[in-house]
Amino acid sequence: MIKLEKHKLKRKLVPSENHFLSLTRSIIYQQISTKAGNAINGRFLALFCRRKITPRNLLKLSDKDLRGAGLSGQKVTYLRDLAQKFEDKTFSNSQEHWNRLSDEEVKANLVQVRGIGSWTADMFLIFALNRPNVLPVGDLGIKKGFQKVFKLRKLPDEKRMRKLAKEFEGEHSYLALFLWQSIDDAEEGW
């Protein structure tokens, strides 16, 4: 049995003040390493040249500029669709709006955006909305964390992860932080 000690977690959950920016970041980091994501995200942010990072300002950027920041054509399409959904008020940047929705309602809303699936929705729920009971079973780091912490021979499937996480019901997001940290610590030689 593992013990979750929230105060010892390196990553802290701090609610996002800009949900649009949180979602752009999630799209940028999809299926790439953290190092590559950091580089591309830095170049993406630099495109705004001290202008506020808003859906309208993103839509004013050319595809060439976005591609020049390192974004694939596909991610450019995803970011434009996301920006349009904020612009046409399909989505709100209001914390109150998102707080009124259940986790499942948030996911149902987000998957309307091209390129946003379960993983991105889970990251938004955990890191932007700070929902306490999200278990991102599609995340490779989570699978590796389960394998390491629970001393499994192979990466677990969703059913196995949910069974192992049962004792942490209500705190799955903190379990996820713990599992990611266990992998980070192993890679850093802790």
CA distance 66 to 43: 9
Residue ranges with strand state E in 21-96: none
pLDDT > 90 in the chain, percent:
73
The mean pLDDT value of the chain amounts to: 91
Query: Hey, what domains does the chain have and what are their CATH numbers?
Result: 19-128 (1.10.340.30), 135-187 (no CATH)
For position 187, what pLDDT does the model report? 57
Which two tokens mark 41?
Answer: 């995200």
φ, ψ of residue 113 in degrees (nearest 5)? -85, 135
For position 177, what pLDDT does the model report? 94
CA distance 39 to 92: 28
Question: Around Cβ 55, how many Cβ atoms within 10 Å?
Answer: 21
Looking at residue 8, the DSSP 8-state letter turns out to be G
Positive or negative, the CA dihedral 183, 75, 120, 41 is positive
Parts of the chain with a pLDDT under 50: 189-190
pLDDT digit string (tens) for 35-78? 999 999 999 999 998 889 999 999 999 999 999 999 999 999 99
For position 7, what pLDDT does the model report? 62
For position 189, what pLDDT does the model report? 44
**161 to each of 62, 107, 123, 140, how far by Cα in Å?**
42, 20, 17, 12
For position 190, what pLDDT does the model report? 39
For position 138, what pLDDT does the model report? 92
For position 8, what pLDDT does the model report? 72
For position 50, what pLDDT does the model report? 82
